[in-house]
Structure 1
Amino acid sequence: MSIESQLADHRVYLLRYARLQLRNDAWAEDAVSETLLAAVAKPQSFANRSQLKTWLVGILKHKIVDALRQRSREVALDTDEGDGSEELEALAFKADGHFQQQPADWGNPEQDLSRRQFFAVLEACTDKLPPAMGRLFLMREWLELSSEDICKELQLTPTNLYVQLHRARLRLRECLELNWFGNKEASS
C-alpha cells in the first residue's frame, strides 16, 4: 500500500480533529492539506517510529498552531463582557467560595472516558463555548500549549487567561452534568 493511500485513509480523522480545534471548515481543510503535503514531501521522517496516525496528528498540531497564530492577526477576539459567566459563578458558588451544591457523582470517569458517546457530548459542549473562550480552552487543554505561549501569542495577561480557562471549565462541567452525567440514558 502506497504512502499516499495510507495518508488518504487518515484524512477524515485529521479533518475532524482540525475542525474541532480551529472551528472553521476552511482553516481545517487548509491545515489538513498542509499536513498531508508535509507527510508526502518527507515520508522518510516517519521511519515507522510510531503509528502513522500519531505522526500525522503531531504534524497537524503544528499546522494548527501556525494557523491560530496567523488567524490571531486577522481575527479579533471577542471580549467576554456579557457572556453570563458572572451569573453562572453566582449560581454555582456561595460568597465564601464553596459550591452551592456538591457536584453530582460522576461515577467512574475513567470508564466513561472510554466511551465514544462521551466524546461526542464533550465535543458538543466545547462547541457551545463562546468562540474566544473555546479557543483558549482548546489551545491549553487539547493542543497542550503552555500558558506562557498562549499569553504571548494572544497578548493576554496570565490572570486573564486563568480566569477564561476557569470559566470555560465551569461551563463544560455544567454542560456535561446536564447532558452526560445527569442523563442516565446517555451515559449508560
Structure 2
Amino acid sequence: MLATSLLNPHKWVEHHADYLYAYAISRINDEEQARDLVQEVFLAALERADKFEGKSTERTWLTAILKNKIVDVYRKRSSGLANIDAKVERQPDYDFFYEDGHWKEEYHPREIGIENADPLHTKEFNKVLQQCMQKLPALWLAVFTMKHMEDQPTTNICAELKVSDSNFWVIIHRTKLNLRACLQKTWI
C-alpha cells in the first residue's frame, strides 16, 4: 500500500488547520502571515504528497513542513538587519550585575505571577509575553523562539540563521533581559 494513500487532503482543513494556525501564530506573532503559512503548507503538502512515506502521522508531516516555512520567515526577517541594536532600548549589561556576575538588588528578578496554576492568569501572562516578544528585533525573536519554543540545538539555529556561536549567546542574553524588563513593566 502506498504511503500517499494514507493522506486525506480533503480533510486537512477540518482536522489540522486550527492546530497548524495555533502553532504558527505562537511562533511568528502575525495573524495574517500565520494564515498564509497554513495555506502554503497545504499547497506544499499536495505538491509533495508522493514524498510522504507514512513513517509519521499526517499532522506530524504537515507540522514539519510548517516548521521549515517558519524558519524561512525567520531567515527573511533577520536578513539585512545590520543595526538591530539601535532598535531596542536597553541598559548595558553592567547596569544589571555586580562585577562578580550576581544581580544588583534593584534588578534582581522578581516573581512575575506565573508561579500559580490559575488558567486565567496563565492566559493573561501568555498574552503579555506575546506582546513583549513582538517588540523584539526579528533576529532576536527568531533565535529565542527556535531555542526556547522549538528546543532546537544551538548549532542548528546558528546554521539556519547564519549567526556565530558567540553572537547567538549574546542575542539570547539580551533577549532574556529585554523580555524580563518588558514583563516587569507590563505584567507585575
Same fold (TM over 0.5): yes
1:21 aligns with 2:27: yes
Per-residue CA deviations over 1:75-95 (Å, capped at 9, x if unaligned) read 31243333343x252432223
Residue in 1 aligned with 2:81? 77
- 1:68 and 1:171, CA in 2 relative to 1: closer, same or farther beyond 3 A? closer
Per-residue CA deviations over 1:104-136 (Å, capped at 9, x if unaligned) read 134563626882222111111111112221122
Residue in 2 aligned with 1:33? 39
The amino acid of 1:76's aligned partner reads: G
Aligned residues: 176
Quick one: percent identity of the two aligned structures?
31
1:127 aligns with 2:134: yes
Residue in 2 aligned with 1:167? 174
Residue in 1 aligned with 2:102? 98
Residue in 2 aligned with 1:186? none
In 1: Cα distance, 2:95 partner to 2:162 partner: 31
In the TM superposition, residue 66 of structure 1 has moved relative to its aligned partner by 4.0
| SS of structure 2 residue aligned to 1:145 | coil
| SS of structure 2 residue aligned to 1:94 | coil
Gaps of 5+ in 2: 1-7
In the TM superposition, residue 153 of structure 1 has moved relative to its aligned partner by 2.4
Aligned-residue CA RMSD (Å)? 3.6
Contact 1:151 1:157 in 2 (8 A): yes
Residue in 2 aligned with 1:148? 155
Contact 1:31 1:67 in 2 (8 A): no
The amino acid of 1:179's aligned partner reads: T
Residue in 2 aligned with 1:185? none
- 1:136 and 1:7, CA in 2 relative to 1: closer, same or farther beyond 3 A? same
The amino acid of 1:147's aligned partner reads: T
In 2: Cα distance, 1:110 partner to 1:151 partner: 35
Residue in 2 aligned with 1:138? 145
Contact 1:15 1:29 in 2 (8 A): yes
Contact 1:125 1:176 in 2 (8 A): yes
The amino acid of 2:67's aligned partner reads: K
- 1:142 and 1:98, CA in 2 relative to 1: closer, same or farther beyond 3 A? same
Calculate the TM-score normalised by the size of structure 1.
0.69
In the TM superposition, residue 23 of structure 1 has moved relative to its aligned partner by 5.0
In 2: Cα distance, 1:64 partner to 1:166 partner: 23
In the TM superposition, residue 172 of structure 1 has moved relative to its aligned partner by 1.2
Calculate the TM-score normalised by the size of structure 2.
0.69
In the TM superposition, residue 16 of structure 1 has moved relative to its aligned partner by 4.8
- 1:177 and 1:57, CA in 2 relative to 1: closer, same or farther beyond 3 A? farther
1:64 aligns with 2:70: yes
In the TM superposition, residue 56 of structure 1 has moved relative to its aligned partner by 4.3
